[in-house]
Amino acid sequence: MHVYSPRFAVAADAHLKPPAASLSDYRSLQRRLGTTRNIFVQPSTYGFDNACVLDAIASTGETARGIAVVSGAVSEDRLDELNAGGIVGLRFNLVRSGTDALRDAVSLAPALAERGWHLEIHVSGAQLPELAATLARLPCDVVMDHFGRVRFNEGVSQPAFRALLALLDNGRTWVKLSGAYLDTEATRDSIVEIGRALVEHRADRLVWGSDWPHPAAASLPDDAGQFDYLQEWARDESTRERILVDNAAALYRF
């Protein structure tokens, strides 16, 4: 999830400039859903300034971790500072920045592996088959954001989904079950089909995220409705607990 606060400066080149969304606002949603941990993901709104995420982690304590965004020129000292502040991974947006973001991700992967961090990668489904071999060679764990942005209506036989399953089998790839609503053409049945196929393939490599407050959504989804998809993707309680608790604890170092 994300937090937004007027206390922190918006990046000059920011595309998304959502209204304030505070940790206390999210606590209300957590009471509704029954979740207790927080993974604060650096919003593109703040560029490479991770102060808002670090502040949210510090305000929350041991139940919080963070995912930062940095430039390819980030220093080892700065990575160590982020590590001390509760950061456990870096996010790279290949949809927006393409080859530049991929170059930075590849170059920083060894430093992340040394710290036990992971790379969170946002790609389009169309990019995935071409990028899969490069991502599979990285020495650190890789988290595919938002279902790898596969097109839900194209089903489980599409090249992007087959590439995603192959990546899951390398033992260093995870898929984040979040933001299904970003595919505005997806039907409920197609979302259930893709999510269930992922669970049946590698439930041990999946984590869930709310993507609150949904800064890129065309229209705001109902958070409880999004959470309820888990009942259809993972039909037994032990599998849901693995995704929500055990997998998250392993990936985010709780």
Amino acid at 134: T
55, 141, 211, 223: the active-site residue: 211
| Residue whose C-alpha is closest to residue 184's, from 223, 152, 228, 160 | 152
Letter for the amino acid at 71?
Answer: S
Q: From CA 33, how far away is CA 53, in angstroms rounded?
A: 22
Rounded Cα distance between 21 and 10, Å, is: 14
State how beta strands 141-144 and 38-41 pair. Answer: unpaired
| 183-219 burial code (b ≥16 CB/10 A, e <16) | beebeeebbbbbbbebbebbbebbbbbbbbbbbeeee
Residue 233 structure tokens: 């993707």
Q: Respond yes or no: is residue 211 known to be catalytic.
A: yes
Partners of 142 in beta bridges: 119, 173
Is residue 122 within 8 Å of 143, Cβ to Cβ?
no
Q: In angstroms, rounded to a whole number, what is the distance separating the alpha carbons of residues 147 and 161?
A: 9
As a whole number of Å, the CA-based R_g of the chain is 17
Q: Measure Cα distances from 1 to 12, 86, 133, 142 in Å.
A: 22, 15, 29, 18
Active site residues: 211
